Structure 1
Amino acid sequence: MTAPIRLYYWPTPNGHKIAIALEELGLPYEVQLVNIGTGQQFEPDFLAIAPNNRIPALTDAEGPGGEPVSVFESGAILQYLARKTGRLGGANERERIEVEEWLMWQMGGLGPMAGQANHFLRYAPEMDPPQVLPYAQDRYRREVNRLYGVLDRRLAGRTYVAGENLSIADIAIWPWARAWEKQQQDISDKPHFAAWLDRLAARPAFIRGVSLAAEARPATLDKTAIENLYKR
């Protein structure tokens, strides 16, 4: 039987967000891999769902009013799933405000800054010609460190980022934050952040989410993949 939800996915932090959320919510779903290294994100069928040519995207045959719907942008998908199920979005209005604050913090802050750090530290030096830009490397490395300091202070005495329970805010932040080593960060002075990383890493749904199609992603990117990711 076909699951009503189809996840258009590649195993990246933004893809992991939605896989984890679907696993936490126990929603049946099918996976459509979109290989962003070979340029599948530019194919017309995918662009009809995700016009910004970015994964993830989601279609739900049982959308609002029982009618099909498609959703792109990981934050919007997380909010949609929270509304659909009445879970992970906050138990009351005050909690919903907190969840949305920290979701936006990830979408507008940590995700873009960590993504730029990853690009300038790992991928730009492998371009043809190599782009080794110390100013950009230092700028994004420092900003990611600042953001992890904000998160560490927030998590002092707290189990989760927003409210009393796991939420889409935690699910949005964790896949980016778990890659702190690749972002050349030192978290030895951020014990609350480190403990939160470990707590969520032990949850079965998080394990399943980050394991989804992990074998499909190559360990390194060749020049064609870098071109598709960063020059188109």
Structure 2
Amino acid sequence: MIDVYTANTPNGIKVPIALEELGLPYRLVRIDLSANQQKQPEFLHINPNGRIPAIVDSDGPDGEPLNVFESGAILWYLGEKFHGLLPLDPRERVSAMEYCFFQVGGVGPMFGQAGWFMRQSSPIPLAVQRYQDESRRLTAVLEARLQVQPWLAGRSYSIADIMNYGWLRQLNYAGVDAANYPAVEDWLARISARPAVIRALAKLAN
């Protein structure tokens, strides 16, 4: 059994989606971010960085429980262990890795900062402009990729799509107009229609 410590956020939805796609049993443990549960000793034992999501796999590599934190590491671990959501083609596998790190190092931080600065009571225009521009640039990179490939890794739906979906489904949070990125819009619609994604989002919403 896999325990998933998470919340209904752009990063928090990734692991339940992946587990639903893989058809694996899991227990959803909701973390109340407003109450700072992610900073409490019990959670810091699982993730010393004090961020969601994190998992505890009761059947780790040596048969003992294994804690895994950071969404990219979790999805890669699940894909490796359960032989799904990682392309078999070696070139596509590298592409999946590239777009996972693209999200970790670019999309997540830039979208997050854009949304945060936009919503301050005393906005800092230079900061808003900087992070919105970068969010638009990153979305344009994905647009170019999705104009020539159905999925970010190539022909295969993978953890790369799940990683980026969490943030891209809320483009307006970062001040990005989805209408300017038709291939991204189509990609988002196809992911949103997947039964596993629908199930995961419904569980997180309840």
TM-score, L = length of structure 2: 0.96
Q: Is 1:160 paired with 2:151?
A: yes
- In structure 2, stretches of 5+ residues that fail to align are none
Quote the Cα distance in structure 1 between the aligned partners of 2:46 and 2:12.
15
Structure scoring higher RCO (CA < 8 A, sep ≥ 6) equals 1
Quote the Cα distance in structure 2 between the aligned partners of 1:63 and 1:8.
17
Partner residue in 1 for 2:195: 204
Cα shift readout 1:30-63 (whole Å, capped 9, x = no counterpart): 0111111111011101000100000000000111
Partner residue in 2 for 1:139: 130
TM-score, L = length of structure 1: 0.86
Quote the Cα distance in structure 2 between the aligned partners of 1:152 and 1:119.
24
Moved more, 103-112 or 185-194: 185-194
Percent of aligned positions that are identical: 46
Partner residue in 2 for 1:57: 54
Question: Are the counterparts in 1 of residues 7 and 32 from structure 2 also a CA contact under 8 Å?
Answer: yes
Quote the Cα distance in structure 1 between the aligned partners of 2:99 and 2:69.
19
> Which one-letter code corresponds to 2:149 in the other structure?
R
Structure 1 residue 212 displacement after superposition: 2.5
Partner residue in 2 for 1:47: 44
Cα shift readout 1:92-145 (whole Å, capped 9, x = no counterpart): 3222111100000000000100010111112x22xxxxx311111111111100
Partner residue in 2 for 1:192: 183
Instruction: Number of aligned residue pairs: give it.
Output: 206
Structure 1 residue 64 displacement after superposition: 0.8
Question: Are the counterparts in 1 of residues 111 and 173 from structure 2 also a CA contact under 8 Å?
Answer: no
What pairs with 1:56-135 in structure 2 (closer than 5 Å)?
A: 56-122=53-119, 124-125=120-121, 131-135=122-126
The Cα RMSD (Å) is 1.1
Residue number among 11, 16, 21 corresponding to 2:13 in the alignment: 16
Quote the Cα distance in structure 2 between the aligned partners of 1:186 and 1:11.
23
- In structure 1, stretches of 5+ residues that fail to align are 126-130, 216-232
The SS at the match of 1:13 is coil
Return the index of the structure with the highest Cα Rg. Answer: 1
The SS at the match of 2:3 is strand
The SS at the match of 1:64 is coil
Structure 1 residue 176 displacement after superposition: 0.3
